[in-house]
Structure 1
Amino acid sequence: MQIVGYETGAPDGVAALLLADDGEIDRQPLDPGDRLALTLDERHCAGAIDRSGETSRHIRCDAPRAPYCPQHTDRWPCARCTGDCDLPLETCREEHAVYLAAFAPATFKVGVTRSWRLDTRLREQGADRAAHIRTVENGRIARQVEADIAREVGDRVRVPTKIEGLHRAVDADAWSALLADYDPIGTYTFEYGLELTERPVVERMATGTIRGTKGRVLVLDRNDSTYAVDMRELVGHEVRREPSSRQLQSSLGAFE
C-alpha cells in the first residue's frame, strides 16, 4: 500500500491521504481528534491516478525518484507565467482574482486564481489572512498584474516558512501597512482550529492523534509532543497500517 496523494479538504471538506493498493484508491480521512496509525517504509514514484472512468484507478510506478519521476511529473504551464502567453488553457479565459495572502507572523505573497476558486485557493495554501485586490477578465491579465506586484511583495511562500508561524498570529500592523497601498474588494480571516502555543517539531511521519491540517501541513500529537508534517513529503511512501515505533525528537513542552 502506498501514499499516492493528499487532499487539503478546502474549502469545506475533510482533508485526507490517498492510499493505493493494487490499483484501488482508498481515502484516509484526517478528522481532528482521530488516530492516524501508518508506518512509513521505502519511498518511490507515486505513479499516477487515472480519473477517466467512473472509478479512479492508480497506475503504479517503481521508479526510484519521489514523489514523482519525470514521466509522472505534471508541468503546469501557468506556474511561472508572467502574462506573456496566448491563453493556452481553457481556464485561462475565465475571470480571475488577484489576491494578497498573509502567513503568520509577517510573510506575504501575491497570487492569482479563477474568481470562483478564491476562498478554496486561499485555504489550500493555509493562508491566515487575505485580501482580494483585483478582478480581471482573464488569466493573462491576472499574471501581468501579479508579476508587477511580486517585485515588491513576492509570489511564493515555502512550507517551512509556514510551519515556523503555525503557533503565531499575523502581525496586524504589518498587514495593514501592506493593504494601505491597495483598495481591497474584500478581506478574509481564516481559522484552522490548531490551538498551538509553540512551534511544532517538523517530522516526516504518519502516526499520532490528528490535531488538524492547515493547507498541506498535517499537525499530529504524539507522546506529549506536537509535530508538523508536510503531506507532500509523505507521497510516494509505501506504508503499513500499524503505528510507527520510530523514536522522534520531542518538543520542549514535553519536558515541562
Structure 2
Amino acid sequence: MQIVGYRPRVDEPARLLVSHDGDIQAEPLEPGVELTYTLEDRHCAGTIDDGTHISCDEPTAPYCSTHTDRWPCARCQGECDLPLASCREEHAIYLAAFAPAEFKVGVTRSWRLDTRLREQGADLAAHIRIVENGRIARQIEADIATSIGDSVRVDRKRRGLHRTVDTDAWETLLDDFEVLDRFDFEYGLDLADRPVPETLLSGTVRGTKGRMLVVERNKTAYGVDMRDLVGYEISQRETDRNLQASLGSFD
C-alpha cells in the first residue's frame, strides 16, 4: 500500500488516498478515527489516471520530475496571455488570516472562494475584490503582496494550531480595504498546546486544518503535514518509533 494523495476537509471529511495494487481507496480522517499504520520506504507517488494509480519507482518524493504537476499560474503576476480556460473566469481577491497573526493575499475563481480558504486552513478571511479574469486578479495580488505577502509556510500554520487570531491586528489590516464578505472557520481541534511536528500515521485523529493532520498518541498531539505522507509505503501496524512528547503529556 502506498499513500498517493490527500484531500483536505471541505464539504467532506479529510482523507488520504491509498493505492492497493493500483486501486485507490480513501482513508477517512474524521475525529476519533484510530490510525494504525507504520511508514516504510518512500518514493514517487506516481500518478492517478481515471481513478487508477500508476506507480513509479523513482526515489524522489513525493513526486519525481516526470510526475510533478507544474501549475502555470503558481507564480504568475498577471504578465500572461490567459493560457488556461479557467483564467478567463471571474476571480475573487481575498485576505486570509492564520493564528495568531499570519496574513496573506490570494486569488481564486469566485465560485471556489470558500473551498480555497478551507483547503489552506484559514481561520479568518475577507473577500475584497471581484475582477473579470485571472490576469487582472494576479496583477492586483502582486501589488498587495508587496506589503502583506502572498503565502504562509506550513510550519508557521502549525505553530498557531492551538492559538486564535489576533483580531486587533486583523481588523487594522482590513481598515485599508473594502470588505465585500467575511469568513470565520472552525476546525474543532481544541488544542491546549502547540502540536509536536512529526511525520506519522499512527494514533487517534483529533482533526484536520487545511493540509495539517493532528493525531494524538500517549497524551501528546502531533501536527502532521499530509503532503509529507505522500509517497510512503505503509503497513497495517502501529509505529514503534520513539516520538518526542509534549510537556503536557506529563501532567
Give, in whole Å, the separation in 2 of the partners of 1:83 and 1:125. 22
| Counterpart in the other structure of 1:191 | 186
Question: Which of 200, 218, 224 matches 2:219?
Answer: 224
| Counterpart in the other structure of 1:48 | 47
| Counterpart in the other structure of 1:7 | 7
Give, in whole Å, the separation in 2 of the partners of 1:208 and 1:68. 26
| Counterpart in the other structure of 1:165 | 160
Count of residue pairs the alignment pairs up: 251
Query: What does the per-residue CA deviation read over 1:118-174, in whole Å, with 9 as the maximum and x for residues that have no partner?
Result: 000000000000000000000000000100000000001000000000100100110
Q: Does 1:115 align with 2:114?
A: no
| Aligned residues of 2:107 and 2:141 also touching (Cα < 8 A) | yes
**TM-score, length-normalised on structure 2?**
0.99
| Aligned residues of 2:43 and 2:61 also touching (Cα < 8 A) | yes
Q: Does 1:145 align with 2:144?
A: no
| Counterpart in the other structure of 1:68 | 63
Structure 1: 5+ residue runs without aligned partners? none
**TM-score, length-normalised on structure 1?**
0.97
Q: Quote how far apart the aligned CAs of 1:9 are.
A: 2.2
| Counterpart in the other structure of 1:253 | 248
What secondary structure is seen at the aligned counterpart in 2 of 1:70? coil
| Counterpart in the other structure of 2:52 | 57
RMSD value, Cα: 0.5
Give, in whole Å, the separation in 2 of the partners of 1:92 and 1:7. 23
Q: Does 1:32 align with 2:31?
A: yes
| Aligned residues of 2:8 and 2:14 also touching (Cα < 8 A) | yes
What letter corresponds to residue 39 of structure 1 in structure 2? Answer: T
Superposition misfits of 4+ residues, deviation over 4 angstroms = none
Give, in whole Å, the separation in 2 of the partners of 1:237 and 1:227. 18
